[in-house]
């Protein structure tokens, strides 16, 4: 009887075949993520599909933790995986070991990482952005010398504000050498003393616009002292140059519009100002005419002498008052001076002065006599003290035959202070004598 296999047996056999095939142990796949789920355990479950097929996949937590990005629905990815069979459901699936974004996806990932880094460092802060001059004299345009961008900017500026000078600087906007050329041309334009710099190019893929996402280009725009308008790509395209620039324009044409005023709008404003000024002048002149008419009808202007008759009379009255006050003050001062003269008797004053002189002379004589007496008395007193001092002087004593005894540099005044065989020194009038004591005799012995 033919033996029938169980489903699990067949599934185990097929899994064994998958696991033993070396070609299925490491396969490289590319596709789009779909039905993406992250389990609470940290494992990832998803499908990988292309236009024709779908395959189930999973990635264990250990491998998932090494990813440099957050996978999401719709990502185009490159996978390194092992093919096997999930026995419980009996379907084959892949077990992913490595995953990375494919092509454009990598660029978008790099773009987001660089954007976060530069934003954290303050390159995109609005408070450091410079205003665009309203009426520029010179504008530097950095773009390719051929193409729609340069034509759009040039024609738009000419039609809006032909007074401005355009300095067109041919710049590489695509290719391996474009990054360095963009930086060099930005620095060159910044040295030209222009009012505004426009950096622009036409639309394209993210790869075509990538030079305007380079960190060095962003820093060159940030360090530029001249206001910069970024006009890279179309309205839906965004680059890091747009974020760091002082103003972002959706298109090169819009950049030209932002950089310049519209001559027709200016003409309308001038006409409006002219109309308002003319109306104001007419109103002002009319008001002044009414004021002049009102003043001219004033009765005093019809008879001008009325304006100064009263003032002349008032001046005469004040002059008269001034003279009277002056004469009164002079007379008062004369009277005061006369009283002062009368109060002073010169004869009496002279007598007082002479008497004071005599008193001073007498006092001077008495003071001189007292000083001389005091000096004589002090001299005699000093002489007596000097004689007493000389009588008490040790030197005079030694001149009479006496000597001074010293022991251990101290004067000896008693025999009790000396012992036999002591070394002593005798100071005499003409020198010193060193001696040894042979015997000591005291008066009380």
Q: Which long-range contacts (CB under 8 A, 24 or more apart) does 29-33 make?
A: 29/55, 29/78, 29/79, 29/81, 29/94, 30/76, 30/77, 30/78, 30/79, 30/102, 31/55, 31/76, 31/77, 31/79, 32/74, 32/75, 32/76, 32/77, 33/71, 33/72, 33/73, 33/74, 33/75, 33/77
Does residue 1 have a pLDDT over 50? no
In this structure, of 42-46, 150-154, 412-416, the range with the lowest mean pLDDT score is 412-416
H helix runs in 195-251, sequence order: 215-223, 240-244
Residue 177, helix vs strand vs coil:
coil
DSSP per-residue letters across 315-373: HHHHHHHHHHHHHHHHHHHHHHHHHHHHH--HHHHHHHHHHHHHHHHHHHHHHHHHHHH
CA distances from 225 to 120, 123, 134, 185, 228 (A): 22, 14, 17, 14, 9
pLDDT higher at 223 or 338: 223
Q: Report how far residue 71's alpha carbon sits from residue 76's, in angstroms, rounded to the nearest whole number.
A: 9
Rounded to 5°, the CA angle 117-121-123 comes to 95
- pLDDT of the residue at 223: 92
**DSSP letter, residue 27:** E
Mean pLDDT over 254-271 rounds to: 91
Q: What average pLDDT does this structure show over 365-391?
A: 87
* pLDDT recorded at residue 344: 66
Q: Look over the chain and give the mean of its residue pLDDT values, rounded to a whole number.
A: 85
Which of 3-17, 98-112, 265-279 is most confident? 265-279
Indicate the range of 92-101, 170-179, 402-411 predicted with least confidence: 402-411
CA distance 135 to 100: 50
Is 138 a residue whose pLDDT tops 90? yes
In angstroms, rounded to a whole number, what is the distance separating the alpha carbons of residues 223 and 190? Answer: 10
Q: Which helix (H) or strand (E) holds 58?
A: strand 54-59
Per-residue pLDDT at 270 exceeds 60: yes
Distance from C-alpha of 377 to C-alpha of 233, rounded to nearest angstrom: 123
Checking if the pLDDT of 31 tops 70, the result is: yes
Angstrom distance (rounded) from CA 406 to CA 425? 5
Calpha distance 199→171 (Å, rounded): 9
Q: Are 299 and 305 a contacting pair, CB within 8 Å?
A: no
Rg (CA), the chain: 61
């Amino acid at each position: 009887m033919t033996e029938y296999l169980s489903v699990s047996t067949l599934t185990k056999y097929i899994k064994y075949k998958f696991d033993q095939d070396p070609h299925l142990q490491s396969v490289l796949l590319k596709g789009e993520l779909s039905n993406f789920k992250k389990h609470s355990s940290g494992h990832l479950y998803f499908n990988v599909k292309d236009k024709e097929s779908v395959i189930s996949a999973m990635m264990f937590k250990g491998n998932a933790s090494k990813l440099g990005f957050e996978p999401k629905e719709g990502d185009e990815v490159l996978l390194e995986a092992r093919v096997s069979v999930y026995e419980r459901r009996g379907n084959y699936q892949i077990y992913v070991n490595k995953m990375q974004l494919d092509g454009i996806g990598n660029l978008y990932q790099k773009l987001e990482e660089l954007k976060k880094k530069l934003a954290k460092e303050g390159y995109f802060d609005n408070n450091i952005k410079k205003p665009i001059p309203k009426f520029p004299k010179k504008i530097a345009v950095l773009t390719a010398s051929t193409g729609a961008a340069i034509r759009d900017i040039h024609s738009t500026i000419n039609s809006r504000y032909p007074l401005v000078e355009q300095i067109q600087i041919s710049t590489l906007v695509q290719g391996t050498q474009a990054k360095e050329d963009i930086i060099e041309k930005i620095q060159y334009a910044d040295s030209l003393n222009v009012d505004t710099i426009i950096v622009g190019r036409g639309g394209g893929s993210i790869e075509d616009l990538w030079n305007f996402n380079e960190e060095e280009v962003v820093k060159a725009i940030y360090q530029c002292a001249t206001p910069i308008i970024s006009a890279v790509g179309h309205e839906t395209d965004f680059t890091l140059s747009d974020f760091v620039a002082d103003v972002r324009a959706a298109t090169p044409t819009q950049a030209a519009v932002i950089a310049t005023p519209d001559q027709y709008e200016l003409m309308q404003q001038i006409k409006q100002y002219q109309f308002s000024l003319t109306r104001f002048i007419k109103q002002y002149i009319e008001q002044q005419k009414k004021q002049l008419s009102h003043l001219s009808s004033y009765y005093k202007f019809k008879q001008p002498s009325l304006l100064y008759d009263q003032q002349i009379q008032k001046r005469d009255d004040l002059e008269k008052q001034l003279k009277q006050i002056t004469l009164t003050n002079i007379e008062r001062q004369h009277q005061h001076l006369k009283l002062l003269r009368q109060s002073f008797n010169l004869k009496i004053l002279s007598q007082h002065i002479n008497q004071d002189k005599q008193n001073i002379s007498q006092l001077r004589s008495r003071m001189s006599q007292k000083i001389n007496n005091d000096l004589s008395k002090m001299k005699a007193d000093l002489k007596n003290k000097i004689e007493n001092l000389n009588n008490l002087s040790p030197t005079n004593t030694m001149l009479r035959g006496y000597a001074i005894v010293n022991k251990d540099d101290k004067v000896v005044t008693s025999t009790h202070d000396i012992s036999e065989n002591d070394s002593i020194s005798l100071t005499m009038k003409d020198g010193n004598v060193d001696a040894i004591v042979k015997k000591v005799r005291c008066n009380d012995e």
